[in-house]
Amino acid sequence: MRDPYDILGVKRTATHDEIKKAYRKLAKELHPDRNQGDAKIAERFKEVSAAYGIVGDEKQRGRFDRGEIDNQGNERAPFGFGAGGPGRSRPGGGAGAAGGGRRFHFEDQDGFDDDIFGDFFRQAGGRGRGNARGNDRKYNLAVSFLDAARGAKRRVTLGDGRTLDISIPAGIVEGQSIRLKNQGDPGIGGGPRGDALIEISIEPHAFFTRKGDDIHVEVPVNLREAVLGAKINVPTIDGTVALTVPKRANSGTTLRLKGRGVTKRGEAVERGDQYVRLKVMLPTPPDAALEKFVEGWSGGDEDVRANMQVE
């Protein structure tokens, strides 16, 4: 695999947010669901996902930048033995063949411990011998506002092409991750697989917004409904419900629908509320009779901006 930064089209100095933004754009363009039957695109998607699994995870990125793992997430031998990453110094002061330096060659000598490097590898985390847990892989999944609020089942494609059906829990928040046990990289030497971490990003809704576990929505009402009061239908994340608009309601009047918000995290039943902010709308097209009434209306001289004086 090529350098993960090159695959994602970002500089090595890119911030975490810049890397995430680049990955999301590519993942959306290359997702197999949008490019069915295109083997080249599928391979490119795997490559992008694998690259993000390395530099999209701050811990993994640090290890890659330090040369501890290669561009596929595999462990590098300490001091450049084995994989020998570029620019890594080698014992004896040589820079390796790529840097034009001399190679250091060990010969059998009296008293030389043949297993010294085996001990060193074991001390470095079991990477040389024995077994080790595989690396975690990090992915991003965009879900709709309603799926995040209500919960849903979604199918995801991992970097190696495997597809899994996962549950999006109701009330999940932006940036929260779903951990899929043993769905990451294979272990080393028979060790357990790592995990897959699915980071959730939530798409905005056309008229709902969320604050904590509460849903907020602005609902237009006509002049008759605002002045005389009325029962109107308003949308909620579960469907339409009836709401009573009180007489003489004004723009900005906010009404609460108890228990119509998002399921509280960790709670089986309790939910937040929905807040409905009314917005009074004049008739369209303009009503000539209304205009004539307002012209002769004595209340039209009220100074409604009296409290907006700047001292």
The average confidence (pLDDT) of the chain is 80
State which fold the 4-88+133-202 domain adopts.
Answer: HSP40/DNAj peptide-binding domain (2.60.260)
CATH 2.60.260.20 placement within the chain: 4-88+133-202, 208-292
Residue 196, Cβ neighbours under 10 Å: how many? 25
- Please give the pLDDT value at position 115: 43
Q: What is the pLDDT of residues 201-243, one digit of tens each?
A: 999 999 999 999 999 999 999 999 999 999 999 999 999 999 9
Using pLDDT thresholds of 50, 70 and 90, give the confidence band for residue 191: confident
What average pLDDT does range 94-109 have in this prediction?
36
Distances (CA, A) of 108 to 54, 104, 114, 144: 39, 13, 9, 64
Q: What is the pLDDT of residues 110-164, one digit of tens each?
A: 333 444 334 434 444 444 446 788 889 999 999 999 999 999 999 988 888 889 9
Task: Give the CATH number of domain 208-292.
Answer: 2.60.260.20
26-40, 124-138, 155-169, 172-186 — which is least confidently predicted?
A: 124-138
- Please give the pLDDT value at position 9: 93
- Please give the pLDDT value at position 266: 56
